[in-house]
Amino acid sequence: MGIAERKERQRAELREQILAAARRIVTEEGFDALTMRKIADAIEYSAATIYLYFENREAIGLQLCHESFEHLVSYMAPAVQVADPLGRLLAIGRSYARFGIENPAEYRLLFMTHSSFLEALFAAEREHPDPDDPGERAFQFVVDAVRVAGASGKLATDDPELIAEMLWSGVHGVVSLAITCKAALVSSVEDLAETMCRTLVRGISASGDVTLGSRSTS
């Protein structure tokens, strides 16, 4: 009964084609420009067909988000190799910023979309907790790093989640502001991100002066 397998495979393939077309459009023109009819043209099917594979436009965006979260994690993961607790936090911040700068469309989709996919993702996570969820992994990754730094007595404060969210917010601020309007900033995104990471790490460290690794330590 290889027929059922083949049909399922074909179904999965078309689904993948839809996602590929959608991702291309989002990357090139942004999520607002993602149109069902545009996808339909790209895959050479009618627009109505897409609804046999995805509930609606939102569902396509959500799936793209899941994949982009994996992408983000792949940027941040290497930071665990940095042994020094504060250095690791610095490395995480830098890699997060680099992801946003190098993949603005994905970043916008993940963290800056009006309909807020993040909201939907976190709601889903709350209903069906899944430690393997990339979003959850990414956040826990930061919290853990803060915990390690706290345990080593190098932090001035002791609220891992608060500090993790502050670090996230700080770098997010740089990236999102740069994406929303580069014109409003005189400094380069790179300088801004680097300054932000260093300042935040310096601000949370127990001792005033911190030995900050070289900038290439991303």
Partner DNA sequence: CCCGATTCTGAACAGCGTTCAGAATCCTAT
Partner DNA sequence: ATAGGATTCTGAACGCTGTTCAGAATCGGG
- DSSP letters of the chain? -HHHHHHHHHHHHHHHHHHHHHHHHHHHH-GGG--HHHHHHHHTS-HHHHTTT-SSHHHHHHHHHHHHHHHHHHHHGGGGG--SHHHHHHHHHHHHHHHHHH-HHHHHHHHS-TT-HHHHHHHHHHHS--TT-HHHHHHHHHHHHHHHHHHTT-BS---HHHHHHHHHHHHHHHHHHHHH-GGG-SS-HHHHHHHHHHHHHHHHBSSSS--PPPTT--
Work out how close the CB of 84 gets to DNA at its nearest, in angstroms, rounded to a whole number. 48
- Minimum distance from residue 193 beta carbon to its own copies (Å): 9
Site for DNA contains 114 (CB under 7 A): no
Please say which residue, 18 or 25, places its beta carbon nearer to its own copies: 25
Residue nearer to its own copies on the CB measure, 16 or 159: 159
Residue 63 sits in the site that holds DNA (CB under 7 A): no
Q: Is 14 in the site for DNA (CB under 7 A)?
A: yes
Does position 9 interact with DNA (CB under 7 A)? The reply is: no
Is 3 among the residues that bind DNA (CB under 7 A)?
yes
The nearest distance, CB 73 to DNA, in angstroms, is 28
Contact range with DNA by CB under 7 A, out of 32-40, 75-83, 121-129, 191-199? 32-40
Q: Which of residues 42-61 bind its own copies (CB under 8 A)?
A: none
